[in-house]
């Protein structure tokens, strides 16, 4: 079973920030939080990852709570092309056997 | 840098046949993982290869097998195909040198249909 809990679906207006929550209350000290997304019928795409600190890259920001039991992926200015299923994954340094769970289906509307 | 490539992109087979799928990782990546994606079960891990050795295996029957070559290219084989093997098969590669460098980069997948 996945170690994370995500809402099954969310909507966001184009141009607004999309905030996708993830609960990982059983995360271990050596486990990273990864975010991937999958646009329909394509392979998953890596977005961002973090261990303890908040992270930002050209695609998104990742906010991890101080107790590391939850995190939020932020897409600052969502576009229609951001419509996808977003997966929050916790994983130790093994990394190669990701447990994707069901993810959050994000719909960005005009 | 070229991404992960998978061939063929689409495949139609009949029950009982066997199939081989191919994956070429990103240059310099030594780890290749395979996943099966179906509407009912989602994305499920099949197995992972590193330096021609299988390091980890998911919960799939022995009909599913794979191998990795010295150039890191990988193949997976499914024998005695069943209708339930119809799925999108995804390959991912990573540097696999520790820490967050296990980030995986996925190919476009091979869509297998079993009739």
pLDDT tens per residue across span A8-60: 999 999 999 999 999 999 998 888 899 999 998 789 999 999 999 899 999 99
| Residue B83 reports pLDDT greater than 80 | yes
- Confidence at residue B56, expressed as pLDDT on a 0 to 100 scale: 86
Whether residues B94 and A96 touch (CB distance < 8 A) is answered with yes
> Mean pLDDT over all residues of chain B?
92
In angstroms, the separation between the Cα of residue A14 and the nearest Cα of chain B is: 26
- Give the minimum alpha-carbon distance from A80 to chain B in angstroms, rounded to a whole number: 20
Helix (H/G/I), strand (E/B), else coil: B101: helix
Distance (Å) from the alpha carbon of B42 to chain A's nearest alpha carbon: 7
Q: In what order do the strands lie in the sheet with A84-91?
A: A9-13, A104-109, A84-91, A32-38, A45-50
- What average pLDDT score do residues B81-90 get? 97
Q: Return d(Cα A33, Cα B53) in angstroms, integer.
A: 27
* Residues in chain A whose Cβ is within 8 Å of chain B: 32, 34, 41-46, 49, 51, 87, 91, 93-102
- Asked if B104 lies within 8 A of A93 by C-beta distance, the reply is no
Q: Cβ of B9 under 8 Å from any chain A Cβ?
A: no
Task: Write the DSSP string, B9-78.
Answer: SEEEE-TT--EEEEEEPPTT--EEEEEEEETTTEEEEEEEEETTEEEEE-S--TTEEEEE-TTS-EEEEE
Average pLDDT of chain A to the nearest whole number: 91
Using an 8 Å CB-CB cutoff, list chain B residues near A49. 100, 103
Q: What is the pLDDT of residue A30?
A: 84
Residue B13 clears pLDDT 90, i.e. is over it: yes
CA distances from B38 to A41, A95, B35, B97 (A): 11, 22, 10, 30
> Is A97's pLDDT higher than 80?
no
| A53 burial via Cβ count (<10 Å: 0-12, 13-18, 19+) | exposed
Q: Which residues in chain B are closer than 8 Å to A96, comparing Cβ atoms?
A: 31, 33, 48, 50, 55-56, 94, 96, 102, 104
Q: Do B102 and A41 touch (CB under 8 A)?
A: no
Provide, as residue numbers in chain B, all residues whose Cβ is less than 8 Å from the Cβ of A42.
108-109
Q: Is the pLDDT of residue B11 over 90?
A: yes
The pLDDT assigned to B85 comes to 97
More confident residue, B103 or A12: A12
Residue B80 pLDDT: 96
């Amino acid at each position: 079973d996945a170690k994370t809990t995500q809402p099954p679906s969310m909507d966001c207006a184009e141009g607004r920030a999309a905030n996708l929550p993830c609960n990982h209350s059983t995360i271990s000290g050596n486990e990273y939080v990864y975010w991937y997304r999958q646009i329909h019928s394509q392979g998953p795409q890596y977005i961002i990852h973090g261990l303890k600190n908040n992270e930002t890259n050209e695609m998104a920001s990742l906010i991890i709570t101080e107790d590391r039991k939850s995190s939020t992926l932020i897409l600052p200015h969502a576009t229609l092309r951001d419509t996808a299923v977003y997966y929050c994954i916790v994983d130790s340094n093994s990394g190669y056997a990701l447990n994707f769970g069901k993810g959050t289906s994000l719909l960005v509307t005009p | 840098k070229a991404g992960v490539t998978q061939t063929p992109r689409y495949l139609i087979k009949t029950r009982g046949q066997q199939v081989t799928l191919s994956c070429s990782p990103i240059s310099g990546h030594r780890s290749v993982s395979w996943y099966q994606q179906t509407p009912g079960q989602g994305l499920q891990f099949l197995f992972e290869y590193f330096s021609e050795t299988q390091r980890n295996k998911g919960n799939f029957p022995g009909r599913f097998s794979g191998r990795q070559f010295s150039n890191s290219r990988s193949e997976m084989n499914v024998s005695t195909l069943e209708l339930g093997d119809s799925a999108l098969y995804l390959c991912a590669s990573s540097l696999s040198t520790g820490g967050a460098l296990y980030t995986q980069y996925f190919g476009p997948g091979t869509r297998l249909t079993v009739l």
